[in-house]
Amino acid sequence: MHGLPGEVQAARVRWPVAYWGLGWEIKGTKAKHWTGNLTSPQTFCHFGAAGTLLWADPSIELAAAIFANRATFHGWPFVPPRWAKLSDALVAAVR
């Protein structure tokens, strides 16, 4: 798997190697990722400007959909660190 430098400007995050695939973001080796620390590098996700997040981790057969109604670009404090905490809690609960 190869990656290119990339960023998500709305979240003010930049990675030297960022994996992407047909509209989905692939976690890969990214640190401080919104899908948490307990999801695998195979995790793929997509988040929207309305504060929603969808991710799936095929290695543990788990997916999460988080819906919101407040835009991330308005400084809503739920993203991305709180997404990561919630995602870690979900994975921990399943394990």
Count Cβ atoms within 10 A of the Cβ of residue 57 and give its class: 0-12 exposed, 13-18 middle, 19 or more buried.
Answer: buried
58: preceding bond cis by omega (within 30 degrees):
no
Dihedral sign computed on CA atoms, order 76, 74, 12, 30: positive
pTM of the model: 0.72
Question: How do residues 17-74 score in pLDDT, each as one tens digit?
Answer: 766 656 788 898 888 888 999 999 999 998 776 678 899 999 999 999 988 776 655 6
pLDDT of residue 73: 59
Instruction: List the one residue out of 66, 57, 63, 65 whose CA is nearest residue 28.
Output: 57
Of all residues in the chain, what percent are helix, strand and coil, respectively (each to 5)?
Answer: 20, 35, 45
